[in-house]
């Protein structure tokens, strides 16, 4: 190998390297991602799973709370304390929890929007 120190036909170090188009994931620092992404696909999936797990935990706690309240209400009135009564109470508590979540997720944004429009119209009326 004949290296010429004067620089004729030698490679320059700056041309030997390409700019690295990947970077480590800032969350897990295990996987690499493109420069355009903020976190890797696995971390995105883990965040989505954690959010779903939290929502299911909230739903389960709501069902248990409603179940306890309904069971106490049925016991005070002397209604079917057997396994059939427990099954009916559980089914009813799941139904009430689903209805409550649907009201919260679908109707609450509508109520907030209507309220914001109402207060905006009142504020505009007093400006005039």
For 46-56, write each residue's pLDDT tens digit: 999 999 998 89
Q: Cα dihedral angle (81, 87, 91, 93), rounded to 10 degrees?
A: 40
Across residues 19-44, what is the average pLDDT? Answer: 86
3-class secondary-structure state, position 106: helix
Q: Identify the pLDDT of residue 111.
A: 85
> What is the residue-averaged pLDDT of the chain?
83
Across residues 31-51, what is the average pLDDT? Answer: 90
β-bridge partners, 32: 24
pLDDT tens digit string along 111-125?
A: 888 888 888 888 877
Q: Identify the pLDDT of residue 84.
A: 87
pLDDT tens digit string along 67-99?
A: 999 988 888 888 767 888 889 899 999 999 999
* pTM of the predicted protein model: 0.56
Q: Look up residue 109 and give its two tokens.
A: 């944004």
């Amino acid at each position: 190998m004949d290296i010429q120190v004067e620089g004729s036909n030698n490679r320059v170090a700056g041309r030997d390297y390409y700019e690295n188009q990947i970077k480590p994931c800032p969350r897990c620092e295990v996987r690499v991602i493109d420069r355009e992404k903020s976190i890797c696909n696995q971390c995105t999936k883990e965040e989505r799973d954690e959010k779903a797990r939290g929502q299911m935990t909230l739903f389960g706690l709501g069902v248990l709370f409603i179940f306890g309240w309904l069971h106490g209400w049925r016991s005070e009135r002397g209604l079917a304390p057997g396994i059939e009564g427990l099954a009916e109470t559980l089914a009813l508590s799941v139904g009430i929890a689903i209805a409550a979540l649907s009201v919260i997720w679908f109707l609450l944004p509508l109520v907030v929007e209507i309220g914001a429009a109402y207060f905006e119209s009142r504020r505009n009326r007093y400006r005039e």
